[in-house]
Structure 1
Amino acid sequence: MSETSKRDTDIPETIQSLLVAFAIALAFRGFVIEGFVIPTGSMAPTLMGQHVRFQTPDTGYEYAFDPTNLIRGVKQNTEAKLPIYDPMISEDRAIGLMPGGRLLGNIRMGDRVLVLKYLYEFFEPDRWDVVVFKNPVDPIGPSQNYIKRLVGGGGEQVLLADGDVFTAPTDGELADFRIARRPRYIQEAVWQPVYDSNYIPLDAGAVESRIKRRFDGPPFKPSQATASNWTISDTRDWSFAVETRTRLDWAEDQLPFDDFNAYNIYRYPPLRGERRLSLRDVDPVSDLRLTAAVVPDDATEFKTSLELMARGHRFVFGLDQGTAKVEMFDADGRSLREVSGTYEPGPGGLLDLEFAHIDQTMIIAVGGEDVARLEYEWDPMTRLENAIDSFDLDRYRANPSGVEIRRPRLTWNFEGSPFEVRRVRVDRDLYYKTGRLDTRQQAAANGERIDGMLYATHPLEPARLGPDQFLMLGDNSGASRDSRYWGRPHPLAVGATGDDTPFIVHRDLLVGKAWCVYFPAPNRIEGTGYSVVPDIGRMRFIR
Structure 2
Amino acid sequence: MAKKNKTKKKPGAQVPLPTGRKDKQDEKKKEQPPTHPSHNAIRETFESLAIAFILAFLIRTFVAEPFVIPTGSMSPSLQGVHKDLNCPQCGQRYRVNASVQSQIRGQAPPDECVGGMCPMCRYTMAYDTRLARVAPDGPKLARNEPSYSGDRIVVNKFLYSFQEPERWDVVVFKYPGNATDNYIKRLVGLPEETLRVLGGDLFVQHQGEEGFDIARKPPTVARAMREPVHDTNHDPANLREAGWPLRWQVDGWELDESTEDKLVRQKYRTSGQGEHWLRYEHTPPDEAVWSTIEQGGDYLPQAKRELISDFNPYNTRISRREVEVRLHDGEENPFVEPYQLLGLHWVGDLHVEADVDVQSETGELLLELVEAGNRFRCTIDIATGKATLSILPYDQEQPVAEYAPTAETVLDGPGKHRVTFANVDDTLHLWVDDRLVKFDVPTTYDWQALFGDFEQAVPRSSEDELGDLAPARVGSVDAALAIDRLRVFRDIYYIADNGKQQTRQSPYVRDYALIPPKDFLSNKAEWGVFARRRPIDFVLGEDQFFVMGDNSPQSMDARLWNQMQPDPNGGMAHKPGGNYLERRLLVGRAISVVWPHTWNFVIPGFTDMRRIQ
Question: Contact 2:166–2:187 at 8 Å: present in 1 too?
Answer: yes
Call closer, same or farther: CA 1:9–1:435 in 2, change over 3 Å: closer
**Code of the aligned partner of 2:94:** Y
Question: Contact 2:493–2:552 at 8 Å: present in 1 too?
Answer: yes
What is the match of residue 444 of structure 2? 375
Question: Contact 1:489–1:501 at 8 Å: present in 2 too?
Answer: no
Instruction: List runs of 5+ in structure 1 lacking aligned partners.
Output: 390-404, 442-451, 493-498, 526-531
Question: Contact 2:194–2:540 at 8 Å: present in 1 too?
Answer: yes
Call closer, same or farther: CA 1:273–1:197 in 2, change over 3 Å: same
Question: Contact 1:285–1:407 at 8 Å: present in 2 too?
Answer: no
Please state whether the residue corresponding to 2:597 is helix, strand or coil.
coil
Question: Contact 1:153–1:470 at 8 Å: present in 2 too?
Answer: yes
1:130 paired with 2:170, answer yes
Distance 2:552 2:157 in 1: 26
Call closer, same or farther: CA 1:273–1:319 in 2, change over 3 Å: farther
1:56 paired with 2:87, answer yes
Question: Contact 1:137–1:489 at 8 Å: present in 2 too?
Answer: no
What is the match of residue 110 of structure 1? 150
What is the match of residue 244 of structure 2? 215
Deviation of 1:138 (Å): 2.5
Distance 1:200 1:515 in 2: 35
Deviation of 1:458 (Å): 9.5
Question: Contact 1:159–1:458 at 8 Å: present in 2 too?
Answer: no
After superposition, give the CA deviation of every residue in 1:119-159 in whole Å (9 maximum; x if it has no partner).
Answer: 3222210111111101112224xxx2110000011222211
1:247 paired with 2:277, answer yes
1:537 paired with 2:566, answer no
What is the match of residue 474 of structure 1? 549
After superposition, give the CA deviation of every residue in 1:279-328 in whole Å (9 maximum; x if it has no partner).
Answer: 3343111111112122233231x323233331242222222443422222
Deviation of 1:414 (Å): 2.2
- What does 1:430-441 correspond to in 2, within 5 Å? 430-438=492-500
Match of 2:314 among 257, 263, 266: 263
Instruction: List runs of 5+ in structure 2 lacking aligned partners.
Output: 1-31, 132-141, 259-263, 286-306, 461-466, 504-511, 514-531, 568-574
After superposition, give the CA deviation of every residue in 1:441-492 in whole Å (9 maximum; x if it has no partner).
Answer: 9xxxxxxxxxx99xxx9977622212310100001111111011111689x9
**Code of the aligned partner of 2:607:** G
Question: Contact 1:250–1:411 at 8 Å: present in 2 too?
Answer: yes
**Code of the aligned partner of 1:482:** D
Please state whether the residue corresponding to 1:516 is helix, strand or coil.
strand
Please state whether the residue corresponding to 2:36 is helix, strand or coil.
helix
Distance 2:358 2:45 in 1: 70
Call closer, same or farther: CA 1:360–1:3 in 2, change over 3 Å: farther
Question: Contact 1:284–1:407 at 8 Å: present in 2 too?
Answer: no
Please state whether the residue corresponding to 1:520 is helix, strand or coil.
coil
Deviation of 1:61 (Å): 1.5
Call closer, same or farther: CA 1:439–1:286 in 2, change over 3 Å: closer
Question: Contact 2:85–2:93 at 8 Å: present in 1 too?
Answer: yes
Call closer, same or farther: CA 1:249–1:180 in 2, change over 3 Å: same
**Code of the aligned partner of 1:512:** G
**Code of the aligned partner of 1:434:** A
Call closer, same or farther: CA 1:315–1:512 in 2, change over 3 Å: same
Deviation of 1:43 (Å): 0.5
Call closer, same or farther: CA 1:71–1:485 in 2, change over 3 Å: closer
Please state whether the residue corresponding to 2:437 is helix, strand or coil.
strand
After superposition, give the CA deviation of every residue in 1:30-57 in whole Å (9 maximum; x if it has no partner).
Answer: 1111121101000012111111111122
Distance 2:143 2:495 in 1: 30
> Normalized against structure 2, the TM-score is what?
0.69
Distance 2:116 2:579 in 1: 37
Deviation of 1:82 (Å): 6.2
What is the match of residue 538 of structure 2? 463
Deviation of 1:208 (Å): 5.4
**Code of the aligned partner of 2:404:** V
Call closer, same or farther: CA 1:3–1:55 in 2, change over 3 Å: farther
What is the match of residue 524 of structure 2? none
Match of 1:193 among 228, 242, 249: 228
Deviation of 1:99 (Å): 2.4
Question: Contact 1:355–1:363 at 8 Å: present in 2 too?
Answer: yes
Question: Contact 1:66–1:263 at 8 Å: present in 2 too?
Answer: yes
What is the match of residue 337 of structure 2? 277
After superposition, give the CA deviation of every residue in 1:202-253 in whole Å (9 maximum; x if it has no partner).
Answer: xx1x3358xxx74243x11113xx46x3224632543335634322221222
Q: Please, which moves more after superposition, 338-347 or 147-156?
A: 338-347
Corresponding residue pairs, total? 482
What is the match of residue 503 of structure 1? 579
**Code of the aligned partner of 2:604:** P
Deviation of 1:518 (Å): 1.9
Distance 1:120 1:18 in 2: 30
- Rg bigger for which structure? 2
Question: Contact 1:312–1:386 at 8 Å: present in 2 too?
Answer: no
Question: Contact 2:158–2:588 at 8 Å: present in 1 too?
Answer: yes
Please state whether the residue corresponding to 2:355 is helix, strand or coil.
strand
Call closer, same or farther: CA 1:437–1:521 in 2, change over 3 Å: same
Question: Contact 1:305–1:413 at 8 Å: present in 2 too?
Answer: yes
CA RMSD of aligned residues (A): 3.9
Deviation of 1:358 (Å): 1.0
Please state whether the residue corresponding to 2:55 is helix, strand or coil.
helix
After superposition, give the CA deviation of every residue in 1:497-524 in whole Å (9 maximum; x if it has no partner).
Answer: xx98511100011111112122323456
Call closer, same or farther: CA 1:267–1:331 in 2, change over 3 Å: farther
Question: Contact 2:219–2:429 at 8 Å: present in 1 too?
Answer: no
- What does 1:130-209 correspond to in 2, within 5 Å? 130-140=170-180, 144-173=181-210, 176-201=211-236, 204=237, 206-207=238-239
What is the match of residue 335 of structure 1? 399
Deviation of 1:422 (Å): 2.8
After superposition, give the CA deviation of every residue in 1:353-375 in whole Å (9 maximum; x if it has no partner).
Answer: 22211110123444434265631
Question: Contact 1:289–1:428 at 8 Å: present in 2 too?
Answer: yes
- What does 1:20-99 correspond to in 2, within 5 Å? 20-68=51-99, 85-89=117-121, 91=122, 93-94=123-124, 99=129
What is the match of residue 230 of structure 1? 255
After superposition, give the CA deviation of every residue in 1:305-352 in whole Å (9 maximum; x if it has no partner).
Answer: 233331242222222443422222323416334314244425634453
**Code of the aligned partner of 2:269:** S
Please state whether the residue corresponding to 2:311 is helix, strand or coil.
coil
Q: Please, which moves more after superposition, 150-159 or 313-322?
A: 313-322
**Code of the aligned partner of 1:12:** R
Distance 1:422 1:289 in 2: 17
Call closer, same or farther: CA 1:538–1:409 in 2, change over 3 Å: closer
**Code of the aligned partner of 2:218:** P
Question: Contact 2:232–2:487 at 8 Å: present in 1 too?
Answer: yes
Distance 1:388 1:221 in 2: 20
After superposition, give the CA deviation of every residue in 1:95-128 in whole Å (9 maximum; x if it has no partner).
Answer: 7886268554321111121111143222210111
Please state whether the residue corresponding to 1:137 is helix, strand or coil.
coil
What is the match of residue 316 of structure 1? 377
Call closer, same or farther: CA 1:314–1:67 in 2, change over 3 Å: same
Distance 1:70 1:505 in 2: 23
Distance 2:160 2:129 in 1: 48
Question: Contact 1:82–1:100 at 8 Å: present in 2 too?
Answer: no
Question: Contact 2:360–2:414 at 8 Å: present in 1 too?
Answer: no
Distance 1:104 1:136 in 2: 38
Question: Contact 2:352–2:369 at 8 Å: present in 1 too?
Answer: no
Q: Percent identity?
A: 28
Deviation of 1:15 (Å): 2.2
